[in-house]
Amino acid sequence: MLSLRLGYVLALAGLSSAGTVVWSGSFDNYQTPADFDKWSWANKVGAYQWYIHGDGPTSDYLALDPAYKNPAVETEAHGLKLTISSNATWRTDMERAELIPQTTANLGTGTLYYHFSVKREEENAPDPTLEHQVLFFESHFTELKYGVGTPTTDLQWYVGGTSKWGTDFVPGTWFNFAYEIDFDGKTVALWASTDGDDLVKVGDAISANTTTDSADFHVGVLRIVNRDPPEDWYFSGVYIESGDITTSVAGVTA
């Protein structure tokens, strides 16, 4: 009992409250893949808009499980496995499965930190020879890419279409990020770490066309080329923060 209590206290000690959460994309808002289907243009409920996906059931593209989260994230009980496949198409032939924040908050004012963690495994690994756009804005002023640039096996940070930083996207490791976006000064910087390590700034502020209508941050993956086999991507710890950045991956206390 004593050790359990101590563990609980230590776990809470990992949480911090540097900034204020403007929007939480915690996957704990959802218990089953079908819960994402409750959102529609006529019924804008939940944390995410869900319309960029194929014609199959949502369970073809989204799955929830404690094993799918970054264990270092303490504010979320389960994470998301997102699967793109030859039938994950929307409007074009490209493979796409993307969640969009559902919120009335202004996600494009002052300086905001867009937090998220991403992972891949050996099984159903993303193809490093094909271009993927990951966690991007409609105008692509900041995004991650995989399968392009040098080397294509790096997960790379792009600003306005140019690679600025990259890291070997090895399987089984969580890659944690925060886009630091100054919507007034029109710059973007990058914070990153792996697994349970604190975020550190890896990319200094760069001029960018920082603009969002608060409904064009794509939490997911777009692959240009439609071809078998399917790919699995894992996401966890998605939230947007104002104020000072929380560098602990554990998350922010309410």
Of residues 31 and 209, the one with the C-beta less far from ligand NAG: 209
- Nearest-angstrom CA–CA distance, 141 and 26: 24
List of residues contacting ligand NAG (CB under 6 A)? 56, 60, 85, 87, 138-139, 209, 211, 230
Backbone dihedral region of 116: left (phi > 0), alpha (psi from -120 to 50 degrees) or beta? beta
* Distance in angstroms between the alpha carbons of the first and the last residue of the chain: 26
Q: Closer to ligand NAG by CB, 204 or 213: give it.
A: 213
Which residue reads 């409007």 in tokens? Answer: 91
Which residue lies nearer to ligand NAG by CB, 160 or 243?
160
The pair of three-digit structure tokens given for residue 242, joined into one six-digit string: 């104002």
Least gap, CB of 87 to ligand NAG (angstroms): 4
> Which residue number, 16 or 124, has a Cβ lying nearer to ligand NAG?
124
- From the CB of 146, what's the least distance to ligand NAG, in Å? 19
Q: How far is the CB of 14 from ligand NAG (least distance, A)?
A: 37
Q: Which is nearer to ligand NAG, 40 or 209 (CB)?
A: 209
Q: How far is the CB of 138 from ligand NAG (least distance, A)?
A: 6
Taking the complex as a whole, the smallest distance from the CB of residue 76 to ligand NAG amounts, in Å, to 26
